[in-house]
A and B are shown apart, each in its own frame.
Chain A
Amino acid sequence: AQSVTQLGSHVSVSEGALVLLRCNYSSSVPPYLFWYVQYPNQGLQLLLKYTSAATLVKGINGFEAEFKKSETSFHLTKPSAHMSDAAEYFCAVSEGLTGGGNKLTFGTGTQLKVEL
């Protein structure tokens, strides 16, 4: 089974500072990896995804992530945090189902707090 681990359940940064949210994966096959964001009382919104086309993936709202096979990592970064980035962030890996299709296996999430 594939899995992801998110280090740091809570991260706090100052507005304008670098955002770094960590995600490590475990997979026996080349993974498909995703970052989702969840605002309070809302569903999940896709930020970006890795599909093996390029190791540096750019997403929405200025976020990007780099796939590093040697480190089994897919960390999410943003050069300059904005107050509106405060939310919970989930890393996920796509895993095939026996009947076809795929499911997402999520990490436990990282709550990002942005301070003035």
Chain B
Amino acid sequence: ETGVTQSPTHLIKTRGQQVTLRCSSQSGHNTVSWYQQALGQGPQFIFQYYREEENGRGNFPPRFSGLQFPNYSSELNVNALELDDSALYLCASSSGQVPYNEQFFGPGTRLTVL
């Protein structure tokens, strides 16, 4: 069974640029969530996709957007990058919409904005 994978592992961008992060969910999982983890903080929920539809969003501006594909993989796009966007971006997959289901996390993408 393949776990959650994310690419790239590291990324350096400059302020104002755009970035796309990718996530492959664990086999059999139809739900993908994205989290932002700033240095020294706990992960913060960005949004969740279920069967290609966004079904919830955290307190992030519209320049954070996402997609989920028919194979349940997902992308996170961030436009007009700001210095504060520097963080570890974590993708998590789960099965179904049950609230006590485990979310399986990928290793993350470390984004640095200069």
Contact = CB atoms under 8 A, between A and B. Distances in A.
Contacts of B99: 32, 94-96, 102
Contact of B45 (A34, A44, A104, A109): A104
Given A106-B42, A107-B42, A99 B55 contact: yes
- Size bracket of the A interface: 20 to 34
- Size bracket of the B interface: 20 to 34
Contacts of B53: 99
A99 B43 contact: no
A78 B101 CA distance: 24
Interface stretch (A11-19, A45-53, A64-72): A45-53
Interface in B25-66: 31, 33, 35, 40-45, 48, 50, 53-56, 58
Nearest to B9: A41
Interface string A78-97: 00000000000010101111
A46 B100 contact: no
Contact of A44 (B55, B56, B105): B105
A77 interface: no
Interface string B12-33: 0000000000000000000101
A94 B48 CA distance: 13
A36 B107 CA distance: 13
A61 interface: no
A95 to B, nearest CB: 8
Given A43-B105, A49-B102, A101 B48 contact: yes
A45 B100 contact: no
Contact of B100 (A43, A51, A90, A98): A51
Interface of B: 4, 31, 33, 35, 40-45, 48, 50, 53-56, 58, 90, 92, 97-108
Interface of A: 32, 34, 36, 41-46, 49, 51, 90, 92, 94-109
